[in-house]
């Protein structure tokens, strides 16, 4: 039996089987998690459907419960963070930041108003647009920010009056299960059910007749399967998918001044951020300087076990992802790119890869055209702004992007031309609960966060009162 439980109808539940969870810093199984059966999933959806009847009725009670949930999570940061580091790999400080962030997000949604709008009030009628919950939500999360991304879904879905069955990634189930145990102390039974298992469990969830909405964060490939699985039943979907973000430096930047921000935009969470810088476009004249500055910074980064307080970058989270990063970098090098620093795995156990800066990789190379999702960044020269905008947009991804300049207005004019959900100026990965986040093209459908993200967990009802 696993030392962590699923939460179904407010109760801790073991599963008939368990599966092993690997610590990426060692490459060895360090713990296990329950493997939810089909019957247990049915029970979880039945509990969510039952709880929906009461939960949807009292908005004040939901706000109070979310405030309590936020406080309970804040109180459990020290318990959750080491579990998150052990399974995900990120430095303990970042794991604490993630758990605190999740608490902050829940508190934001506890206070966010639900929209109502009077659209007509005249001699004929009074008509008001109100927001109603969609019902039971099936939520599925990835392995890069399991705790934070769960909160991005739980906060707005529950505030709007929905109930939920949530499944974390099989690579990082334990921190979310622990979070669920903490939240179960303050939420009514059945409102938030958390189950764990493999991809098959995700498929059962999206095909299940009870949920009316699927909220998914993960890869483009899975997102397409989920859209197809939702279609026959016309379930609503929010899909937060992968990115291949371009950052574009304009010719007036001072490389020394922005190196640190560029490095963190690309290498935070060891590059495993959907909206990390994945391609860096630099004017030809500055290319050498930028490559050198980033290589010096990357070479100085301390890579190691997240439990070591000195660690700045943890391992790649799992073996398939580690193999993919290794393959994409090796392919670029074989095609003529040069590693200004890094370029190879780090010897020893665990999925550690050297922070890598590549010069000479360009479009047509997979590490430029696809999402690498790891600690390796291609730095690509360009000649003029029209050309670089076309190259940045010349992809089916469209999550976010950034433009960097000594003149923010000039940068903003270029950012305005990027086809993506968030366009930053002089920064990258600046996010907040008030800020709608989502992608265009293959990077997703819909947004999370802010009133727009909350609206995605509602259906509109027009309440029309005739006056005569």
CB of residue 464 to ligand NAD, shortest distance in Å? 37
User: What is the full DSSP assignment across 195-239?
Assistant: ----HHHHHHHHH-SS-SEEEEES-HHHHHHHHHHHGGGT-EEEE
CB of residue 314 to ligand NAD, shortest distance in Å? 16
| Closest to ligand NAD by CB, 405 or 443 | 443
| Closest to ligand NAD by CB, 129 or 440 | 440
- Strand extents, DSSP E, 229-355: 236-240, 245-249, 277-283, 338-341
8 A C-beta contact, residue 68 and residue 186: yes
CA distance to 24, 89, 274, per residue, from 308 (Å): 14, 11, 25
| Closest to ligand NAD by CB, 239 or 293 | 239
DSSP 303: B
Determine whether 274 is an active site residue: yes
Q: Which residue in the list 87, 98, 274, 371 is annotated as catalytic?
A: 274
Q: Which of 270, 264, 267 is nearest to 315 (CA)?
A: 270
CB of residue 250 to ligand NAD, shortest distance in Å? 26
CB of residue 221 to ligand NAD, shortest distance in Å? 7
Strand order in the sheet with 116-121: 116-121, 125-133, 458-466
Contacts with ligand NAD by CB under 6 A lie at 140-144, 167, 169-170, 199, 202-203, 206, 217-219, 222, 225-226, 240-243, 274, 371, 373, 399, 439, 444
Which residues lie below 8 Å from residue 433, measured CB to CB, with a gap of 6+? 104, 105, 108, 109, 155, 449, 450
Kindly state the tokens that stand for 316.
């790649």
| Closest to ligand NAD by CB, 345 or 439 | 439
**Three-state DSSP string of 389-432:** HHHHHCCCCCCEEEEECCCHHHHHHHHCCCCCCEEEECCCCCCC
Determine whether 327 is an active site residue: no
| Closest to ligand NAD by CB, 97 or 189 | 97
Q: Which of 330, 321, 262 is nearest to 292 (CA)?
A: 262
Q: Which residue in the list 240, 312, 371, 448 is annotated as catalytic?
A: 240
Please give the distance of CA 370 from its chain centroid, rounded to a whole number: 18
CB of residue 294 to ligand NAD, shortest distance in Å? 22
List own/partner pairs for 422-426 with CB under 8 A and 24 or more apart.
422/275, 424/400, 426/258, 426/261, 426/402
Kindly state the tokens that stand for 368.
């430029």
CB of residue 76 to ligand NAD, shortest distance in Å? 22
CB of residue 257 to ligand NAD, shortest distance in Å? 29
Q: Which residue lies nearest ligand NAD, judged by its C-beta?
A: 202
What angle separates helix 59-75 from helix 92-111, to the nearest 10 degrees?
160
Residues assigned a catalytic role: 240, 274
């Amino acid at each position: 039996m696993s030392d962590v439980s699923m939460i179904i109808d407010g109760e801790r539940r073991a599963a008939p089987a368990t599966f092993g969870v690997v610590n990426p810093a060692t490459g060895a199984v360090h713990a296990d998690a329950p493997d939810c059966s089909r019957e247990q999933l049915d029970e979880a959806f039945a509990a969510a459907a039952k709880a929906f009847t009461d939960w949807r009725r009292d908005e004040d009670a939901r706000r109070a419960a979310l405030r309590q949930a936020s406080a309970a999570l804040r109180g459990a940061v020290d318990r959750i963070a080491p579990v998150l580091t052990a399974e995900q790999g990120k430095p303990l400080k970042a794991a604490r930041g993630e758990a605190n962030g999740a608490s902050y997000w829940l508190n934001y949604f506890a206070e966010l108003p639900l929209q109502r709008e009077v659209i007509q009030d005249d001699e004929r009628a009074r008509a008001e647009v109100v927001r109603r919950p969609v019902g039971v939500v099936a939520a599925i999360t990835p392995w890069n920010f399991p705790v934070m991304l769960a909160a991005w879904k739980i906060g707005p879905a529950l505030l709007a009056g929905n109930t939920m069955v949530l499944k974390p990634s099989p690579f990082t189930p334990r921190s979310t299960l622990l979070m669920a145990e903490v939240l179960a102390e303050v939420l009514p039974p059945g409102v938030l059910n958390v189950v764990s298992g493999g991809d098959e469990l995700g498929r059962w969830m999206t095909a299940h007749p009870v949920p009316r909405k699927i909220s998914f964060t993960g890869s483009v490939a899975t997102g397409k399967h989920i859209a197809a699985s939702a279609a026959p039943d016309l379930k609503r979907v929010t899909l937060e998918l992968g990115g291949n973000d371009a950052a574009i430096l304009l010719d007036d930047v001072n490389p020394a001044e922005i190196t640190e921000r560029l490095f963190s935009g690309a290498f935070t969470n060891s590059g495993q951020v959907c909206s990390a810088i994945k391609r860096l476009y630099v004017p030809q004249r500055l290319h050498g300087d930028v490559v050198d500055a980033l290589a010096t910074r990357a070479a100085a980064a301390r890579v190691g076990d997240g439990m070591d307080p000195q660690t700045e970058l943890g391992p790649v989270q799992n073996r398939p992802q580690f193999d993919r990063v290794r393959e994409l970098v090796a392919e670029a090098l074989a095609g003529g790119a040069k590693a200004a620093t890094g370029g190879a795995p780090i010897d020893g156990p665990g999925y550690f890869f050297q922070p890598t800066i590549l010069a000479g990789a360009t479009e047509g190379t997979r590490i430029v055209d696809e999402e690498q999702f790891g600690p390796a960044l291609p730095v690509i020269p360009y000649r003029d702004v029209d050309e670089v905008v076309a190259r940045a947009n010349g992809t089916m991804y469209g999550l976010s992007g950034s433009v960097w300049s000594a003149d923010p207005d000039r940068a903003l004019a270029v950012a305005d031309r990027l086809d993506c959900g968030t366009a930053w100026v002089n920064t990258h990965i600046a996010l907040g609960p008030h800020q709608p986040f989502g992608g265009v093209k293959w990077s997703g459908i819909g947004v999370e966060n802010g009133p727009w993200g909350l609206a995605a967990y509602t259906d509109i009802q027009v309440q029309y009162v005739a006056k005569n």
